[in-house]
Amino acid sequence: MTATDHIQALRALLGEKGLLADAADRVAYETGARYDQGRAAFVARPASTQEVSAVVSYCVRNGIHLIPQSGNTGLVSGSTPDGTGTQGVLSLERLTAPFDLDRANRSVHVGAGMRLSDLNAKLEEHGLFFPIDLGADPRIGGMVSTNTGGSRFLRYGDVRRNTLGLKVVLADEEGTILDLSSSLRKNNTGVDWKQIFIGTSGAYGVVTECVLNLEPLPRQTATAILVPSDPKDVPELLLALEEALGSQLSALEGMSDNAVRAALDHVPSLRNPFQAGTIPPFSLLLEISRSNAPLKGEQPLDQMLEEVLGSIWEGENALLADAVIGKPHEVWALRHALSEGVKNSGRLIAFDLAFRRADVMRFLDHMKEHMPSRFPGVQICDFGHIGDGGVHFNLVVPRDDPRAADPTFEDSLRAWVVDVCVKDFHGSFSAEHAIGRKNQAFYNHYTPAELQRLGAEFKSITSPGLLGSVEFGTPASKTAAIL
């Protein structure tokens, strides 16, 4: 059979709207959010779990490698085809049904192709939201397969914690549908199989439907920017804030001076919140929130926050050098501009790392000390989710530096940073971006042999066909797709 035969067969299964083959139609699906430009043999766009099953079954039987693609907002080359032109993209974008809200259960059953912003728009009138707060606007299936966390992890946890059920299509000859779509909050009647499909980049199956936990929308919010007396004090300050604020604490984000400066330089609408135009070496965005309305006689939340910060300020340890209560939208505008600012300030080499909470600042110190001798001229523009140990560790090479376009330089820089993270600090080289092609070599290098064996054998008992951009093991058939 020729490529044209396969495309015709898939079109017969999925209809005209369900199969794109023209180069112009394919280009959006071949292009990644940050790094990638691949080439797809076709783009399949099934509109139901049954259709996903049909297309997966067809491709497994015919040795065609499928790359599931959700919102295509990921940063690790997980959702785009490689350059061979032999892989098919399996887009989830038409899987927007069902939308079954169970208000009393605070849960919703949705198609994996629903956009996060669309989901939250639909939930707003019910006073509910899916509490994963991201800069990007992914679709739900991709959020599950990367297990994203976001800025409010500290309060609400990650996608795993907020997933009650899944429906998954396995890459076997039958395109087996695993129905794990229970809405129960408690259920210990066997293996919780859905966990294996969360955070594994679609290697073990295609997530087609999700049952999600919802949370009441915050109805009171207050934010401040804090300057620790010394960046070393950040872990102690975090504990003091947790002690004083309890479960009201909904975000604590770290911002390096370089990242703040890049944002102020490149996003003109921003205002510098610090005194006299200075930028402290490290600052924190603090958010507290409550889902209940204020009670009679209760002081407004920002007054409460001011009082708490005052008592920490006056505390024995002098943890705070400065604190400015600011309007939430202004404070978050600065935080959200960091990414764009950093991207615009040179050639960006980005890492998404995680550590035990006390180790974040130690790692940053270590890097500031050793970067100038190891990789002179490389600027550290970190920011991230300090409350849960996450760091978007961004390195910027000046654009006029010849190393900015040198892949060997990037490789050796990446290898060194990841090695310090994993070996010296027992950290994670992918906090919330999962694996993708981008992190495959690190997975192969740092994952103990016994876990790689399990990963490969689990692949063979779930999805022996060619699926996704990650290899947890050698699939049954490593033959290149025949397109």
Per CB under 8 A, the list member of 16, 125, 191, 478 interacting with its own copies is 191
365 touches its own copies by CB under 8 A:
no
Whether the link from the prior residue into 376 is cis, omega within 30° of 0, is: no
Rounded CA-CA distance 346/343 in Å is 6
246 touches its own copies by CB under 8 A:
yes
142 touches its own copies by CB under 8 A:
no
- Pick 239 or 318: Cβ nearer its own copies: 239
DSSP string, 404-434: GG-HHHHHHHHHHHHHIIIIIH--BSBSSS-
Can you say whether the dihedral through the CA atoms of 119, 124, 126, 130 is positive or negative? Answer: positive
DSSP string, 294-350: PPTTPPPHHHHHHHHHHHHHHSTT--EEEEEEE-HHHHHHHHHHHHHHHHHTSEEEE
- Contacting range for its own copies; rule: CB under 8 A; set: 12-20, 85-93, 236-244, 396-404: 236-244
Which two structure tokens, joined as six digits, stand for 170?
């396995």
351 touches its own copies by CB under 8 A:
no
- Contacting range for its own copies; rule: CB under 8 A; set: 45-53, 86-94, 104-112, 129-137: 104-112
| Amino acid, res. 294 | P
Q: Hey, which residues between 283 and 302 contact its own copies (CB under 8 A)? A: 290-293, 295-299
268 touches its own copies by CB under 8 A:
no
Q: Hey, which residues between 437 and 466 contact its own copies (CB under 8 A)? A: 439, 442-443, 446-448, 450-451, 454-455, 457-458, 461-462
388 touches its own copies by CB under 8 A:
yes
Q: Which residue has the tokens 């995680």?
A: 354
# of chain residues touching its own copies (CB under 8 A)? 94
Per CB under 8 A, the list member of 114, 255, 262, 308 interacting with its own copies is 308
480 touches its own copies by CB under 8 A:
no
- Contacting range for its own copies; rule: CB under 8 A; set: 88-96, 113-121, 136-144, 431-439: 431-439
26 touches its own copies by CB under 8 A:
no
323 touches its own copies by CB under 8 A:
no
Can you say whether the dihedral through the CA atoms of 193, 117, 82, 422 is positive or negative? Answer: negative
248 touches its own copies by CB under 8 A:
yes
Q: How far is the CB of 474 from its own copies (least distance, A)?
A: 15
Which alpha helices (DSSP H) does 147-292 contain, by range? 153-156, 194-197, 234-245, 257-266
71 touches its own copies by CB under 8 A:
no
Can you say whether the dihedral through the CA atoms of 62, 141, 431, 418 is positive or negative? Answer: positive
